[in-house]
Amino acid sequence: MSRYVARRVAQSLLALLGVSIVVFALMHLVPGDPVRTALGTRFDQDLYDMLVARHGLDRPVIVQYFDWLGRALTGDLGVSFRTGRPVTETLLQRLPATGLLAITAVIIGLLIALPAGIVSALRQGKPIDYVANTFAQVGVSIPDFWYGILLILVFAQTLGWLPPLGYTSPLEDPVDAARRLILPALTTGVVTGAILTRFVRSSVLEAMNAEHVRFARAKGLPQRYVFRHHILRNAWNPIVTITGLQLGTLLGGIVVVELVFAWPGIGREALVAVERRDYPVMQGAVLMIATAFLIINLVVDLLYAKLDPRIRSG
């Protein structure tokens, strides 16, 4: 098991190195001068030359990359062109908001998808199956920002039950934080639930049609026992996989929801950095999101060994 973990960690580090190379190269292919953009109307040639030299932009790109990579390995992702603040500090301040929203959305998605997908598979071809499939299709087809705007119109403007925008740390005011979390988490959670419902249904159906399940039923074992010990146990691995992928995707892919609800997350910060050609923030945000995604994938792989002893023995 330890050799497997070491191999997966090494693979993740190589993948992260590849991501850093691609991101750094793409950032320098983006048109526009980041220092001139940061200065805006305050442009001064002496100040411009000083900032270019300070950030090392007058050196060859390959030298800039290895300098940035060496500092990144120590946790130093550089300084923002726009604000002058350390990128690591800026992103770590945004990470709790994004993590809270992503984890809550996945929990809501699972609360929707597990009962809907399981019941849909067990009642295949029945009206409830068509209802669950319709929900999954509609949930995937409609953009998440539309759900967000609809929820704001109904629960914030019309009913006045919840605040429409903003973020409060749970450490400062748990009640206000929960009230501000509900709408963006529901927006993302509904879409996540629709995606997961399809995978839960297909995983359960595949497990139900396995030979050992048919053999267990032929032996006369109770249906509840067969479902719990044979169907559900074999259906967990694909469900865990897609749930982990969804969580990793949400950590870096809920930019639109963060914009709609003025949620101060990493995605929103990265979008602002792209608009203003802030190279260090863009590179740092992508690197942090990729790291989180790889860590989640590693955790999912390790969970396989707990869920399926055959994987552990292999």
Q: The pTM is what?
A: 0.82
* C-beta of residue 230 within 8 angstroms of C-beta of residue 213: yes
Per residue of the chain (314 residues), give pLDDT as tens.
677 777 878 888 888 888 888 888 877 776 666 777 666 666 667 777 777 777 777 788 888 888 888 888 888 888 887 777 888 888 888 888 988 999 999 999 999 999 998 888 888 888 888 888 888 888 888 888 888 899 999 998 888 888 888 888 888 889 999 999 999 999 999 989 998 998 888 888 888 877 777 777 777 777 777 777 777 777 777 888 888 888 887 876 678 888 889 888 888 888 888 777 788 888 888 888 888 888 888 887 777 766 665 555 44
What is residue 38's predicted lDDT score, i.e. its pLDDT?
66
In this predicted structure, what is the pLDDT of residue 124? 83
Which single residue is written with the structure tokens 């002893």?
Answer: 309
pLDDT in the model for residue 175: 92
Check residue 61 and give its pLDDT.
Answer: 81
What CATH number has the domain spanning 100-275? 1.10.3720.10
Q: What's the pLDDT at 181?
A: 92
Give the start-to-end residue ranges of the domains of the chain.
100-275
User: Distance (Å, rounded) from C-alpha 297 to C-alpha 248?
Assistant: 8
Give pLDDT, residue 289. 85
Residue entry with tokens 């994004």: 98
